[in-house]
Amino acid sequence: MCFSYFWHNFLKVVKIGNIELGAYPLLLAPMEDVSDPPFRELCKQHGADLMYTEFISSEGLIRDAAKSVQKLDIFEYERPMGIQIFGYDINSMREATEITAQAKPDIIDINFGCPVKKVTCKGAGAGILKDIPKMVQMTEEIVKSTDLPVTVKTRLGWNEESKYIVEVAERLQDVGIKAISIHGRTRKQMYKGEADWTLISAVKNNPRMHIPVFGNGDIDSPEKAKQMKERYDVDGMMIGRASIGYPWIFNEIKHYLETGEKLAPPTIDERVAACKQHLQRSLDWKGPILGVVETRRHYTNYFKGMFGIKEFRTKLVTTDDPERLFELLDEIAEHFAGYNFS
């Protein structure tokens, strides 16, 4: 009996609806101006099990705003893939869900977690945490308006006095969501202090909960991932900021969880190759102007902590010519050949 129980749990696969994600999936968080197709391609290649688009405004989708509509772009190699939407008006969110479904994602995700003032001041993102009945009603209407699995990303609460996530998660499950990702901070904390996963684990351990619960916040190394996995009872992890310019983190975490051994950090050639791929895909997707501009925010992290990189980094973020950018990346590979990242 003990053996069969162990074997059952060993083989347990996390599912969102009918989508199988493996035993302990690692998710790429939706990040504004970061989680676009060029970046997601790299994360998928390096082990992300499920990815989400950057969040998309419901009002923008309804108005057919070009920037919002372009964010709906997803590609077959990315699947399973979720599209995340946000908004403050229930009718607009319902309509945006129907538009989003036409892009044929595998999942529709609702953003109830963005802490940025321009979003929360309108009652969207984490702003809805001040109105839990509306949060539940909006979720129910979105679930009713699509056959796709609906998931939610949110926070512990609005502030220290309103950390109702255990009750909120249960109510959202009751109206039909298929998974929930929880960032271990309140909206008031923004990204300050340490993420508290205690309540995330409490959500998972609620005997009424049967959907997957994913933890998010402060996962920035294989060691930290192992520590959180062993300490808190969740179904998987969502990784955000630590993946920016470092898509290798997904496979590094998986390898460490499986073997207890750390993979060697990516070499300078691997970093340059990833950077080139990122730039080329951005050029293909956004064109020669936006493609160059929107890749700039990633260079610092690809070459983070390298002694002597400042001069090259300055050139990377000020050069507009794509051909010259590729030349600069080749120069970095040559100049830092054999660089020790350990």
Confirm if 99 and 142 have CB atoms less than 8 A apart.
no
Q: Where are the domains of the chain?
A: 24-259, 268-335
Q: What is the 8-class DSSP label of residue 308?
A: T
Query: Phi and psi for 15 in degrees, rounded to 5?
Result: -130, 140
Alpha carbon dihedral 147, 109, 239, 75, in 10-degree steps, equals 60
The region that residue 217 occupies, defined by phi over 0 for left and psi between -120 and 50 for alpha, beta otherwise, is left
Backbone angles phi, psi at 196, to 5 degrees: -105, 110
The pLDDT value recorded for residue 53 is 95
**Catalytic-residue membership of 121:** no
CATH number assigned to the domain covering 24-259:
3.20.20.70
Nearest to 56 by CA among 117, 106, 103: 103
Question: What pLDDT score does 1 carry?
Answer: 40
Helices (H) and strands (E) in the chain, counts: 14, 11
Q: What's the confidence (pLDDT) of residue 233? A: 87
CATH fold for the domain made of 268-335 = 1.10.1200
Q: Which of 2, 114, 121, 275 is catalytic?
A: 114
Rounded CA separation 72/100 (Å): 7
Query: Residues 282, 286, 291, 297: is their CA dihedral positive or negative?
Result: negative
Question: What string of pLDDT tens digits covers the 342 residues of the chain?
Answer: 444 434 444 558 999 999 999 999 999 999 988 999 999 999 999 999 999 999 988 988 988 887 788 888 899 999 999 999 999 999 999 999 999 999 999 999 999 988 888 888 888 888 999 999 999 999 999 999 999 999 999 999 899 898 999 999 999 999 999 999 999 999 988 888 889 999 999 999 999 999 999 999 999 999 999 999 999 989 999 999 999 999 999 999 999 999 999 999 999 999 999 999 999 999 999 999 999 999 998 998 899 989 999 999 999 999 999 999 999 999 999 999 999 988
What pLDDT is attached to residue 107? 97
